[in-house]
Structure 1
Amino acid sequence: MWALLTLDSLETTFALRALVTLNTLDALLATLALWA
């Protein structure tokens, strides 16, 4: 039971990290595009 909860939490954490990373990259690209 706890193992499943832990795996679910890890998957959620990785998904959130991926979203944050993608949003950060998008923001950087947008900034570069403005400066270009």
Structure 2
Amino acid sequence: MLVIAYLGFPLVTLVCFQNIYTPLITVSFSCLESNL
């Protein structure tokens, strides 16, 4: 059980970070394209 939690935590963290960063990257690209 502890091993599952130990392996699962980075995966959950990665998914959460991806959910946070994907919109930011998309907005950044939109700003860059509009400036160019």
TM tier, smaller: 0.5 to 0.7
Cα RMSD, aligned residues only: 1.6
Query: Which sections of structure 1, spanning at least 5 residues, go unmatched?
Result: none
Aligned-partner Cα distance in 2 for 1:6–1:27: 33
One-letter identity of the residue aligned with 2:35: W
Distance 1:27 1:7 in 2: 32
Query: Structure 1 length normalisation: TM-score?
Result: 0.60
Query: What residue identity is the alignment partner of 2:17?
Result: R
Where does the alignment leave 5 or more consecutive residues of structure 2 unmatched?
Answer: none
State, as a whole percentage, how many aligned pairs show the same letter.
11
- Where has structure 1 moved over 4 Å in runs of 4 or more? none
Task: Encode CA deviations 1:6-35: one digit per residue, 9 max, x unaligned.
Answer: 222211101112232322210100111222
